[in-house]
Amino acid sequence: MTISNNSVVSFHYTLRNNEGETLDSSSGRDAFAYIQGAHQIVPGLEQQMEGRKAGEKFTAVVPPDMGYGDFDKNLLQRVPLERFNGQKVETGMQFQAGNQGIVTVREVADGQVLLDGNHPLAGVTLNFEVEITAVRTATPDEVSHGHVHGPGGHHH
């Protein structure tokens, strides 16, 4: 069976940046499972999965605009440290910032905190090494729920 919309795809991957640094991997875990066409993985990888079959291994290079987006300097904001009401704030920490979503602390200096609303991988070219382990048709429940049921997916 080839991968097409409403296929459940299970795959192992290693994700690296252009410098070869490993950013994420499914090694030692269950294969990752998703529904093709349901926008559950980055668009550039989903496009490159289309038409492939179980057993295939390939490298997918995904530019930022088809991954987590370009880095947007407008999503950087300096706020006074006092806004954190005495809470410990350190570089690398993440906070939920209301309707802005998750922000990452990039710097704490001179009573100011530099917050970054970009995804941590914004602006990064994604280099995936992929091994497709299984492809099947999604069940009607999986399609209506919008996620995979069972191993590698959501468990009710």
Say which residue, 123 or 151, is predicted with more confidence: 123
**pLDDT category, 151, cuts 50, 70, 90?**
low
The DSSP code for 100 is G
Place of tokens 């009710």: 156
Rounded to whole angstroms, the Cα distance separating 115 from 92 reads: 10
Give me the pLDDT at residue 154, please: 57
The model's pLDDT over 9-56, given as tens digits with 9 standing for 90+, comes to 999 999 999 999 999 999 999 999 999 999 999 999 999 999 999 999
pLDDT on residue 98: 78
Which of left, alpha, beta for 101 (phi over 0: left; psi -120 to 50: alpha)?
left
CATH number of 73-116: 2.40.10.330
Which residues make Cβ contacts (< 8 Å) with residue 151, sequence separation at least 6? Answer: 30, 33
Looking only at the bridges linking them, the beta strands covering 112-116 and 76-80 are antiparallel
**CATH, domain range 7-68+122-145:** 3.10.50.40
Q: Where in the chain is the domain with CATH 2.40.10.330?
A: 73-116
pLDDT tens column, 121-137: 999 999 999 999 999 99
* pLDDT score, position 101: 84
Distances (CA, A) of 6 to 38, 71, 146: 8, 31, 10
CATH 3.10.50.40 intervals, the chain: 7-68+122-145
Residue 99's pLDDT band, with cuts at 50, 70 and 90, is: confident
| 141/76 Cα distance (integer angstroms) | 41
